[in-house]
Amino acid sequence: MVAIAEIPESKKTGGPEQWQGRIALLALCGIAFYLVLRFGLHLTGTLGGVAIQEI
């Protein structure tokens, strides 16, 4: 939500800063998405394995 609100402001200024901000935002989103997938699947697999062992 915050990122969406900031995009129109960066369009007004324009210039290289706009692209640097977008690239940084995309990189952060990509890293966060990767970490969520990696650790989310790892935790799900671990919990699933423990649940199976309990049964």
Q: Which residue has the higher pLDDT, 52 or 19?
A: 19
Q: Which residue has the higher pLDDT, 1 or 39?
A: 39
Residue 54 lies in a domain: yes
Q: Please report the pLDDT score of residue 24 as a whole number.
A: 92
Q: Which tokens is 18 given? A: 């706009």
- pTM score: 0.45
Q: CB atoms < 10 A from the CB of 20, how many? A: 11
Tokens 């290289």, residue located = 16
Tokens 């394995």, residue located = 49
Question: For residue range 6-37, what is the model confidence (pLDDT) as tens digits?
Answer: 555 555 556 677 888 899 999 999 999 988 88
Contact 18, 10 (CB under 8 A): yes
| Structural domains in the chain (count) | 1
Q: Please report the pLDDT score of residue 1 as a whole number.
A: 45
Residue 51 lies in a domain: yes
Domain that holds residue 41: 25-55
Tokens 């199976």, residue located = 52
